[in-house]
Structure 1
């Protein structure tokens, strides 16, 4: 099959192609990691059941013992302080108590019928580590900042990919796989194009809805959202929301993350009272009870939800059992509801198995795009200097075509914009080092 030359390629096309190349070079390795960990996390329940079935299963029998005995047994068994309790929705499942120790957090599996500690795992277990790796939090805050950069460039990849695919009277755009020789570049080009065509919208959605976890844009934008009428609901009268610090409740989701309420009751706090209140308030199991280290703070009960509209945070005085606050989905601002819905779809829980499979296909597509793009690049760069990047044609109209795609995203996501400036610097340097040479269509 003969290779078309540059005669049919406009300057704008060649410039967008060049930036599509650089965008892929910059972020595809990280996107592949995020796709792998995200795909695994879609099956969190199944993986944890396979890994910890021996720890989580108990014999259902009679009445359970006092919930206070669950935390007492876990604290004695692990040598630390209980910070949260996961109450399961099945009588044959163990209660999970997270304990803060000098060596770090551990989760104890406790038989609810006799308060026997069956065993424990580090932190939140394997899937907790997968989640932290997915957000790059496990590598430290500087790496978590990459979330915004990678997500922004992923959107640029999708936008420039659509531009390159769009039919222009050339035999390049394709909507279905065509027979070809895997040893030749056109085969991988078509595979790349078809995969991107059908998965591009899902990949862009994953990138946009992943932004709440970014360390810069996410913290700033979502903080403003929460404090405005579009985010967090109003706090109870005379008891404003307060930053919870180390007592941040678990399992609350994005809108109510990191805040709590004060409690003014007297006496000794008790998990018994909080669980009794949760049952009286019809909190569905499974749910998580967060135990504050400060006795002056409310305990928080949050059900484990699959749909965004089921979100709820119940604030209980651990010393009296009184309900201090009850934040529900209907009270969230419109912006918070949109983001909570986006996160639930991102995690594959909002619409059941269909949702999960679609998100999984997006993760698989990222790997297919990366592999096919890598093969195309490897075949193309043979005998070429440097990275083998497409040569940028001169002219202001060309720059306008590229900026029209990437500039709005650079403004919306500042770290993506800063990385764009760095990429422009690298691009200028490469252009100075290597002279242009004839190109072929991708």
Structure 2
């Protein structure tokens, strides 16, 4: 094969056909997912600094003077609902003495607002719309800003991102080439762009693959299906306590920040009036690490929840309490099955919080690498394309060619059904495009 890719090897003819076929699908995979991946990398990189962004955005109302006296938790909610009428949905108890308690209020029109209350004297220091900058970034990252159906697109993109990494490694494989394998040649032009793309993909490909894989639990089809299978196999969330029933949570009753494995369950409790003082006292007595978030369900027959917020996977803990403060269940990470533990770990690493600052900076570098890969790919395509044409690599015939492509792509399509459906659609479009070009040539 001639060096049309700015530094590719010149292997034998059968391998040359396989190389061109994989290159073709690598091209199409990039065309399909790179715009989404670059958007997700940008927003994901920003979201890694959620804690800092939230603190900066709310500091004017969240910062308080530390004082030893503490008012009653029920007074926090009373003060919050007086300032912003509505139903108290959650109470965030901070881990810093110079930060206010945050009470999220659901108003009559369905909107959510966060009220900041000084725990020393239950004085309201201000309020803000729920979510803020980091929530907006998260909504864009998940594509939910374009509608709930975009969750399906995210699943397709994640599957093709893994295919993109796998085909990229196939194309990178040295095949007797010494230059541009693990280092970048300084010569300007296409060799530099090719090396920049290939070597960046080599070093960052594993992390990008990991990010795509660990993003799948949030997906609508595969994520929900996997969670169901894991739980049915006894590898997921712990079984119900005696004489209690696990129920599917309604939207407003889902335990807050309970993690991927526990976020779709709630515990039934005897209907009663809420005693937040007793709930907080029991939570503190149980030794739940701050910051923790107390969920106050809308339904009086649902248990109150108290969950550790934003910790490493092994620190996850969720306490269910009656509305009078009696502990019904205390669920810790070591009670999860191996499937739930594995995916909780994966998500914690994905979000850059499992291994401290090192974890966060590695994820950030992977996000930067996605942009380097995207921009270098765009530059190479722009320079080599014939004017007015897409310039996709030609599709060579032969069984070895098909085996090379299918051997890489099919396993992902089996594991991720939506990726498989999109592959069938891509094959159909590609076939029609090829037939159209052949007819035009004759």
TM-score where L is the length of structure 2: 0.94
Match of 1:14 in 2: 20
- What CA deviation, in whole Å up to 9, does each residue of 1:106-135 have, x standing for no partner? 212222222222222222221112122212
**Aligned residue among 285, 288, 304 for 2:290:** 285
SS in 1 for 2:320: strand
1:220-250 CA-to-partner distances (Å, cap 9, x unmatched) read: 1112213431001011101021112021111
The alignment status of 1:297 with 2:313, answered yes or no, reads no
Q: Do residues 223 (structure 1) and 228 (structure 2) align? A: yes
Superposed displacement of residue 3, structure 1: 5.1
* Residue 197 of structure 1: aligned partner: 202
Q: Does 1:323 align with 2:330?
A: no
Find the counterpart in structure 2 of residue 341 from structure 1.
Answer: 345
Distance 1:209 1:169 in 2: 34
The farther-off stretch of 75-84 and 14-23 is: 75-84
8 Å contact from structure 1 (residues 165, 172) kept in 2: no
In the alignment, what sits opposite 1:421?
Answer: 424
1:93 matched residue in structure 2: 99
Which residue number in structure 1 is paired with residue 414 of structure 2? 411
Match of 2:182 in 1: 175
CA contact (8 A) 1:147 1:214 kept: yes
Correspondence 1:395 to 2:398: yes
Q: Distance in 2 between matches of 1:187 and 1:137?
A: 37
- Partners of 1:3 and 1:236 in 2: CA distance: 65
Q: Is the 8 A contact 1:147 1:213 kept in 2?
A: no
Report the CA distance shift for 1:81/1:367 in structure 2 as closer, same or farther (over 3 A): same
Q: Which residue of 2 aligns with 1:160?
A: 167
Give the deviation of 1:52 after TM superposition: 1.6
Q: Which runs of 5+ in 1 are unaligned?
A: 437-442
Aligned residue pairs total 430
Matched position secondary structure for 1:434? helix
Q: Residue 113 of structure 2 aligns with which residue?
A: 106
3-state SS, counterpart of residue 394 of structure 1: coil
Corresponding position: 1:258 with 2:264: yes
In structure 1, the residue matched to 2:47 is 41
2:251 equivalent to 1:248: no
1:51-66 aligned within 5 A = 51-66=57-72
Change (3 A) 1:422 1:173: farther
Cα 1:172–1:144 change in 2 (3 A) is farther
For residues 224-279 of structure 1, the C-alpha deviation after alignment (integer angstroms, 9 at most, x for no partner) is 2134310010111010211120211111001111211111264x212111100001
Alignment partner of 2:421: what SS? helix
CA spacing shift, 1:4–1:334, aligned 2, 3 Å: closer
Distance 1:300 1:198 in 2: 42
Residue 330 of structure 1 and its aligned partner are, at CA, apart by 1.2
In the other structure, the counterpart of 1:123 is: 130
SS in 2 for 1:84: strand
Distance 1:227 1:294 in 2: 27
SS in 1 for 2:343: helix
1:162-206 per-residue CA deviation (whole Å, 9 max, x = no partner) reads: 00000112466510111111xx22221110001000000000000
- Alignment match, 1:27: 33
Aligned with residue 81 of structure 2, among 67, 75, 80:
75
- 1:144 and 2:151 aligned: yes
Say whether the 8 Å CA contact 2:185–2:191 is kept in structure 1: no
Contact 1:63-1:113 at 8 Å conserved across structures = yes
Measure the CA separation in 1 of the matches of 2:174 and 2:419.
Answer: 29
Give 5+ residue unaligned stretches, structure 2.
Answer: none
The alignment partner of 1:341 has SS state of helix
Kept in 1, the 8 Å contact 2:143–2:151? The answer is yes
Between the aligned partners of 1:236 and 1:103, the Cα distance in structure 2 is 33
Q: Give the counterpart of 2:191 among 164, 180, 186.
A: 186
Q: Secondary structure at the match of 2:330?
A: strand
Aligned to 1:239: 244
TM-score, L = length of structure 1: 0.94
DSSP 3-state at the match of 1:273: helix
* Residue of structure 2 in register with 1:433 after alignment: 436
Q: What's the CA shift string for 1:198-221, capped at 9, x where partnerless?
A: 000000000000001111111111
Question: Judging changes above 3 Å, is the alpha-carbon distance between structure 1 residues 301 and 203 closer, same or farther for their aligned structure 2 residues?
Answer: same
The farther-off stretch of 364-373 and 218-227 is: 218-227
8 A contact 2:271–2:302 mirrored in 1? no
Q: d(CA) in 2 for partners of 1:369 and 1:314?
A: 44
